[in-house]
């Protein structure tokens, strides 16, 4: 229950206040003081919701009392009470001090005192509720700011960690796309510009966004590249017998994308198997791509352009992995990419 304080040096008045509040003592916790210094001492030790003070007090004016309340307990609601003949002095206090209400004595009915107290308590509670709400909002804002700062730091770390491979991949792609060096025509150059844009976009998705488990990337690739009715079949399997470390997934996911992306652009139809296996301290991504012997095999008719595409994918994949091995047989080619945790690689 909130505390209400009444300050009045007149003992007769004080007895009258007590009688008026007797019936409401279960609802109003009221403390009575005749000396301002005793009240100030109490205010410094305990919370006070409402203070009702006589304006004309010996040794300390009502204004001085309210000034002290403002300094010690700004949230305390202040009510000034005075005789009619002291109204001029009270109005002067109003002009210089923040006061909730002024009440005139004498009080003829208990309600004359109880009602202003109840109004002041309601005001105090509403202000406290608003302050609590504001404080909670500020705390929530601080938490959000801390969370945002943490996310920004994490993003910066991720960007720094992947900046090297990104710049290398970008350099490889830009270098291979030089039409004058490679001798490809304008139409082919436009196709390769589209290819390189997709390569970079996928790189950003794998490296700059939050890492996901193996199955997330596998499902995503199958949605994009598995179309049996069109002769394009994709299988993706994890043969390690365990969850693949999340820190390996950006490189591994981009490696899977490169292999199936090459099949999609290079071949009219294919059966591609991407399997992840364990080989020593490496995680091995093995790609086996089968294609038909007869009919139209290649989507890209010019051999020079096919070689350029293979070169782009090969160099990007080589930069991506710790080691790469390639082989070719009739109707299929095999690519092996080896990945190892970055911290192990540095040791």
Q: Give the tens place of pLDDT for each residue, 234-250.
A: 999 999 999 998 888 98
Q: Give me the pLDDT at residue 330, please.
A: 76
Per-residue pLDDT tens digits for 85-95: 666 666 666 66
Is 186's pLDDT higher than 60?
no
CA distances for 73 relative to 122, 161, 193, 269, 293, angstroms: 17, 53, 70, 81, 90
Q: Give me the pLDDT at residue 148, please.
A: 86
Is 347's pLDDT higher than 60?
no
Q: Which residues contact 65 (CB under 8 A, 6 or more apart)?
A: 7, 36, 39, 40, 51, 53, 57
Per-residue pLDDT tens digits for 219-235: 999 999 999 999 999 99
Per-residue pLDDT tens digits for 310-334: 888 888 888 888 889 988 877 888 9
List of domains in the chain:
3-136 (3.40.50.2300), 210-346 (3.30.565.10)
Mean pLDDT of the chain: 84
Mapping DSSP to helix (H, G, I), strand (E, B) and coil, where does residue 220 land? helix
- Which two structure tokens, joined as six digits, stand for 210? 């939050």
What's the CA dihedral at 79, 85, 87, 92 to 10 degrees?
A: -110
Instruction: Kindly report the pTM of this predicted structure.
Output: 0.50
Per-residue pLDDT tens digits for 134-158: 999 999 988 888 888 888 887 777 6
Is 69's pLDDT higher than 80?
yes
Whole-angstrom distance, CA of residue 38 vs CA of residue 75: 20
Lowest mean pLDDT segment, chosen from 11-25, 116-130, 202-216 = 202-216
Q: What sign results for the dihedral spanned by CA atoms 271, 274, 278, 281?
A: positive
CA distances for 23 relative to 20, 76, 113, angstroms: 7, 24, 12
Place of tokens 């047989």: 329
Whole-angstrom distance, CA of residue 189 vs CA of residue 346: 39
């Amino acid at each position: 229950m909130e505390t209400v304080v009444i300050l009045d040096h007149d003992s007769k008045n004080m007895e009258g206040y007590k009688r008026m509040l007797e019936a409401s003592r279960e609802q109003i916790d009221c403390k009575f003081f005749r000396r301002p210094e005793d009240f100030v001492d109490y205010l410094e030790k305990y919370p006070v919701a409402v203070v009702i003070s006589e304006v004309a007090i010996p040794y300390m004016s009502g204004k001085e009392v309210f000034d002290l309340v403002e300094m010690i307990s700004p949230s305390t609601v202040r009510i000034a009470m005075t005789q009619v003949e002291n109204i001029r002095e009270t109005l002067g206090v109003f002009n210089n001090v923040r006061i909730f209400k002024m009440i005139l004595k004498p009080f003829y009915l208990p309600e004359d005192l109880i009602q202003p107290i109840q109004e002041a308590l309601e005001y105090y509670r509403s202000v406290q509720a608003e302050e609590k709400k504001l404080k909670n909002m500020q705390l929530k804002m601080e938490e959000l700011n801390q969370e945002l700062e943490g996310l920004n730091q994490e993003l910066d770390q991720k960007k720094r960690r992947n900046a090297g491979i990104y710049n290398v991949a970008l350099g490889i792609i830009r270098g291979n796309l030089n039409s004058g060096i490679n001798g490809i025509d304008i139409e082919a150059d436009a196709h390769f510009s589209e290819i390189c844009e997709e390569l970079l976009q996928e790189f950003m998705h794998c490296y700059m966004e939050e890492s996901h488990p193996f199955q997330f990337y596998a499902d995503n690739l199958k949605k994009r590249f598995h179309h049996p009715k069109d002769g394009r079949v994709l299988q993706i399997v994890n043969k390690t017998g365990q969850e693949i470390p999340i820190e390996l997934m950006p490189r591994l996911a981009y490696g899977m994308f490169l292999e199936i992306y090459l099949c999609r652009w290079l071949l009219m139809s294919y059966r591609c198997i991407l399997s992840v296996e364990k080989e020593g301290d490496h995680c091995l991504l093995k790609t086996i791509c089968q294609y038909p012997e007869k009919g139209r095999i290649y989507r890209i008719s010019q051999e020079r352009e096919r070689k350029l595409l293979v070169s782009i994918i090969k160099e990007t994949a080589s930069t991506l992995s710790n080691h790469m091995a390639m082989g070719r047989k009739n109707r299929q080619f095999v690519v092996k990419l080896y990945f190892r945790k970055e911290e192990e690689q540095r040791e």
